[in-house]
Amino acid sequence: MNLYYKLHTYKLIKVSDKIHWITRAHYPDPLVDYSNTDFILDFNDAVSVLQQWRNPNLGRSSREGTVISLASNAKSAYRLIQEQLLTTILPEEKEKQLIEKLKVYRFLLDQTLPQALELVNLDKLITPEDIKQFINRQLELMRQEYGRELKFAENMLNELEAISDIEVKDDYGKSRRISRNDVLDVLGSVLGNILLRQVSLWQVDDYISRPRGRMNLKKTYRAAIMREGKVPPKQIRNEDIKVMDKDRVSLIYFIVDLSQSMNKTVFKDGLTRLDGSLLTSLGLYYYFKLVNRRKRREFDSFNMHVIPVDKNPYVIANDEKFEAFLMEAEGKGKTRLVHATYSAIRHVQENYQNVKYDVQLVYLTDGRPNVPFDGTIYGNSMDFGYEKYLSESDSKIPKEAKTCMVQLNKTFNYLKRVKDRNWKISYFLMASDKFMRSSLYRDTKKMLSGITDPVLIDPTEIDNLGRRILQETIVNEN
Amino acid sequence: MKIDEKFLNAYENANLEVENLIGRRPDDYKILMFIDPDLYKSVLLQTEATGSPKAVISSNELYVLQEMKNLDYVPVGKDLFFGSRSPRIFLPANISKIKSSKVLEAKIFQTLVKAVLVEETKSSFPDKLMDLYTKDTVIYNLFTNNVYEFVLERGASWVWQYFQDFTATLRLLSLYNLDDFYVPPNSIRSASIFYNYLLETKKIIKERSKAVLNAPLYDLILNGFGEYALREYLKKYDSSVMEKIKPELKSNLGQPLGAIGNVFLGEQGENFEEIFENTLRIKNDQELTSIWNREKTKSKMKELREQLMNESLIWHASNDSYWSDLWPIRGSSFDKIDQYVGKIQRRGYKSFKGLQEENALVKSHGRVRLKDREVAVLSIQEDTVGQEQLVILRNHLEAKKDTFSTPLPGLPDTIVFRKFSGMHIASYLGVVDDKETKNYQKSPYDLPMIVRAVQVTSKKDAYGNQDLDEGNKIENVNYEDLKSLTEPQYRAIRYLIKQRDAK
């Protein structure tokens, strides 16, 4: 033992000047990202991503960048796998895997990526569907080349799906590829939240006294204590019961104006009214989606629909179609706002007959409806106040627009009165602050009086608004 | 840290073996045992990529290498030996997990024997490498200290990446002698930390480039000697032992550099001592390979290639069905070294400079002159610097703000050609003159940029209908300064120049 100890000590002394034990403290990891700051995706980035999606020219550079970065990775991977095969002892399974992967990388570098770049240059590889088709074609070519399916090929080629993502760089040089969902989440949580706070479609975080739904025990006890002034309370009455929030299903209809006039650029950074209204609907749409997700209920609390104000307004009721609509929507034709309203009403009546739903009609428009509805208008003859107002005012809005606004006013008043469903209206106007001084704004406000207030939306300012709200929240918490 | 007894024994035995074989032990060297194998992987990748363990790496390369690490593509079997004076031997601490102590001993023996060679060789290779290491360490320290100061002073988070990219780009371009256009006059040194750093680094990087270029080609000798000595050492084992340990010495035996070097070294004498003494006198690979003419070399190489084909079967697990895939990889790696030998034999290159001049990885093709600006055309077949990094050479920092002010005279917009196997890319990177945003930059990266990339191809309709993409009419474009470009490359340039103004 003693001898061993001596021997050990001797060796220790002898080698200690040669062998150095290295920890991360001695030797900083050369591959640590020095600029280790989080990527900040702000609202403006999300907006620019949306613009890039909608405009192939704007997104092209990002798609090209993706192809190049895939090539760059493939090149390094190809080299390193070769080295690994030549120098590192590998179990058989791993070795086989690497050989297969090497083949895929070879094919990627020789065939797939050059072709992808050419197609991207020609704007022929834009949508996820284009890319899926391209990947399948490449898999087939690979199969022909090697006479069999290569393992991992599909997984590895699926990385090409990133081509439809958009690369954004924040102001500090950090770049990140953004998938559609990331952007939509940002828009939903920032924009949607702000919009809802502005207009109070309903008070999102409020506790509503109602003896239905999931009970909030703490709040309920507190209410009972407050009522009785005793701890513990003797009884809990119906009025004490607090639930987290509504548990009923709300139907939301976004009525998005796609008329010619929406093409006008009214915001800075070249944003059109249409961009503004798409952004707003997007924000709200994804806000509700987020809420649905957070609630973890068996059913979604909010059923969302989009109705483009088109020649023949139709109802979009699923995410995929909604996103496709966002990408393809263009402003043309006239503003059939009343038609769209009746499409929504019909859709509710036909599809949600039995249950007493809340129905929220959300208008996103420039406020210039111009095609009167020739079907039956709900409402009764008592609703002539607005008509009278228009005929007496010196408003310069065209006749058709006046008729439409009267029709809308009647319909809204009717919806407000009927008891079968709980109808609510919100009316977003895409314009900058100047618009408030116009007569159209006054007329619109009058049209909506007793129903809701019109909300002016300038998407380029929403970012600032968001920041302010955030700051105020922080200050209040302190 | 408790020293592993098994490793210690193997280390001591390996030292004794070296002493037995050569008559002395290596004296001035360092073994760096990385306790965290993950850190070892990083160092391995970084050293392989930059040629030195201390070189600052660009963010572009960093992302790629990190990705490779995540995908588990790191060739960890490779022994990392940095053959400078006072050679550095990098080992992951888990090396002592190797079951067979004989294998461990053999591996350590090989690094120690290489250490003796670089300690005593007459070649200037270890000195140059030491020079390189020192310069990189100085640059690294300058970099970290300055960034630290900068961040402390201005609280700007982008500084790390910026300095890092700047340093890596400078290093690359300096190596190819393209670095004279963006350095401010000396008088500006006192203006800010950044200028001071820039000028200081620039000076050291220039010296570093000189060291790299003048370093003798020595890889064949170093690796060949490692192979030769290890084979000599392994002679003490009989074939049954060899059968067991040889497959475990995958990265130590039969590697093309080692195997080819070994063949040449075998001609240096009758016995080990003679060969070792003669090897010490060889100054570079050219000297080593000049013993045979091309014809003899070719036949020797052919012979060796076949011999390796038979031998290397044992280093692969899936040697039955996949051998037809594995051998070509080994074969092509062998051919590359064979070509290298051919090159130095024919042209007589003694240092890296000759090789680099013949086939520069970074080349300037001149500039396109437009009415209001210039576009520099480069080709970069190198992974260190991406298009992104070139932005920092752009004359984009005229703006002054409280967080930074760095008005560099710089490159204009750039078009860069790169090749990835079947891809030949021309990419354009320019900064849009946007008067509105100029005064409100948050960092040097906060720029209105235009980036495009196209496949260089001889297909006539490759870029679609060009008329549609044309924005403002481009007038007075002068392509006369451009040189050594192909017709498809010219077409790509013309298209990209038009695209800059496309709306």
* Number of DSSP helices (H) and strands (E) in chain A, helices first: 17, 10
Q: Which residues, 6 or more positions from A232, have their beta carbon under 8 angstroms from its beta carbon?
A: A221, A225
Residue A66 Ramachandran class (φ > 0 left, ψ -120 to 50 alpha, else beta) = alpha
B116 to each of B109, B113, B258, B289, how far by Cα in Å? 11, 5, 17, 22
Q: Do residue A269 and residue A391 come from a single domain?
A: yes
Q: Smallest Cα–Cα separation from B402: which of B91, B192, B92, B217?
A: B192
Nearest residue in chain A measured CA to CA from B98: A89
CATH number at residue A433: 3.40.50.410
Sort B17 into a burial class: Cβ within 10 Å, 0-12 / 13-18 / 19+: buried
User: H/E/C letters for each residue in A222-261?
Assistant: HHHHHHHCCCCCCCCCHHHCEECCCCCCEEEEEEEECCHH
Q: Which of B73, B158, B252 should one mutate to test binding to chain A, selecting the residue with the greatest count of A CBs within 10 A? A: B73
Q: Is residue A115 part of a domain?
A: yes
Query: What would the mean pLDDT of A169-187 be, rounded to a whole number?
Result: 65
Does residue B307 surpass a pLDDT of 90?
yes
Residues 35-94 of B with CB under 8 A from A: 35-36, 39, 42-43, 45-46, 53, 57, 59, 62, 64-69, 71, 73-78, 93
Q: By the 8 A CB rule, do A262 and A331 touch?
A: yes
Q: Smallest Cα–Cα separation from A308: which of A289, A328, A292, A290?
A: A328
Q: Do residue A240 and residue A342 come from a single domain?
A: no
Q: Is residue A11 part of a domain?
A: no
Q: Is residue A13 part of a domain?
A: no
Residues 321-360 of A with CB under 8 A from B: none
Per residue in A264-289, pLDDT (tens digit) is 776 666 667 777 777 777 777 777 77
Does residue B74 surpass a pLDDT of 70?
yes
Q: Which of B46, B247, B383 sits opposite A31 (nearest CB)?
A: B46
Flag if B423 and A113 touch (Cβ within 8 Å): yes
Per residue in B265-298, pLDDT (tens digit) is 999 888 888 999 999 999 999 999 999 999 999 9
**Torsion angle, alpha carbons of A170, A173, A174, A176, to 10:** 60
Q: Do residue A328 and residue A350 come from a single domain?
A: yes
In chain B the first and final C-alpha atoms are separated, in Å, by: 64
| Element housing B375 (H / E) | strand B374-380
Per residue in A385-416, pLDDT (tens digit) is 888 888 887 777 788 888 898 889 889 888 88
Q: Do residue A146 and residue A294 come from a single domain?
A: no
Q: Is residue A75 part of a domain?
A: yes
The one-character DSSP state at B392 is G
Q: Is residue A89 part of a domain?
A: yes
d(CA B90, CA A188): 51
Q: Do residue A240 and residue A277 come from a single domain?
A: no
Q: Is residue A288 part of a domain?
A: yes
CB atoms within 10 A of CB B467: 7
Residue span of the structural domain in which A238 resides = 210-244
Does residue B149 surpass a pLDDT of 90?
no
Q: Is residue A15 part of a domain?
A: no
Q: Do residue A336 and residue A418 come from a single domain?
A: yes
B309 touches chain A (CB under 8 A): no
Q: Do residue A278 and residue A427 come from a single domain?
A: yes
Place of tokens 């039956």: A376
Task: Name the pLDDT band for B464 (thresholds 50, 70, 90).
Answer: low
Task: Name the pLDDT band for A3 (thresholds 50, 70, 90).
Answer: very low
Q: Which of A88, A121, A175 sits opposite B463 (nearest CB)?
A: A121
**What letter represents residue B235's amino acid?**
K
Mean pLDDT, chain B, integer: 84
What is the DSSP annotation of B62-113? HHHHHHHHHTT---TTS-EEE-SSS-EEEEEGGGGG-S-HHHHHHHHHHHHH
Q: Is residue A4 part of a domain?
A: no
Tokens matching residue A369: 């409806």
d(CA A358, CA A301): 10
Q: Which SS3 state, helix, strand or coil, does residue B177 take?
A: coil
pTM of the complete model beyond 0.95: no
Q: Do residue A217 and residue A93 come from a single domain?
A: no
User: Which positions in chain B touch A170 (Cβ < 8 Å)?
Assistant: 445
For the ranges A38-47, A152-161, B205-214, the lowest mean pLDDT is seen at A38-47
Q: By the 8 A CB rule, do A469 and A197 touch?
A: yes
Any bridge partners for residue B376, and if so which? B367, B414
A20 touches chain B (CB under 8 A): yes
Flag if B247 and A89 touch (Cβ within 8 Å): yes
Tokens matching residue A298: 């068996």
Task: Name the pLDDT band for B396 (thresholds 50, 70, 90).
Answer: very low
For the ranges A142-151, A267-276, A301-310, the lowest mean pLDDT is seen at A267-276
State how many domains chain A has: 3
Residues 175-214 of A with CB under 8 A from B: 175
- What are the start-end ranges of the E strands in A312-437? 358-365, 422-430
Per residue in A195-248, pLDDT (tens digit) is 665 544 443 333 444 445 566 777 788 888 888 877 777 777 777 777 655 556
Q: Which of A73, A118, A123 sits opposite B64 (nearest CB)?
A: A73
Q: Smallest Cα–Cα separation from A94: which of B317, B37, B186?
A: B317
List the Cα angle A165/A171/A176 in 5-degree steps. 25
Place of tokens 């940029």: B449
d(CA A315, CA A232): 53
A39, HSE (Cβ side, Cα atoms, 13 Å): 14
Q: Which residues, 6 or more positions from A306, have their beta carbon under 8 angstroms from its beta carbon?
A: A253, A254, A256, A281, A285, A315, A316, A322, A325
Per residue in B22-63, pLDDT (tens digit) is 888 998 899 999 989 999 999 999 999 888 998 988 888 888
User: H/E/C letters for each residue in A98-146?
Assistant: HHHHHHHHHHHHHHHHHHHHHHHHCCCCCCHHHHHHHHHHHHHHHHHHH
Q: Do residue A201 and residue A273 come from a single domain?
A: yes
B431 to each of B372, B445, B501, how far by Cα in Å? 13, 11, 11
Flag if B255 and A87 touch (Cβ within 8 Å): yes
**What letter represents residue B24's amino acid?**
R
Q: Do residue A216 and residue A261 come from a single domain?
A: no
Place of tokens 């204009």: B412
How do strand B88-92 and strand B30-34 relate by DSSP bridges? parallel
Q: Do residue A163 and residue A262 come from a single domain?
A: no
Does residue B486 surpass a pLDDT of 50?
yes
Q: Do residue A128 and residue A231 come from a single domain?
A: no
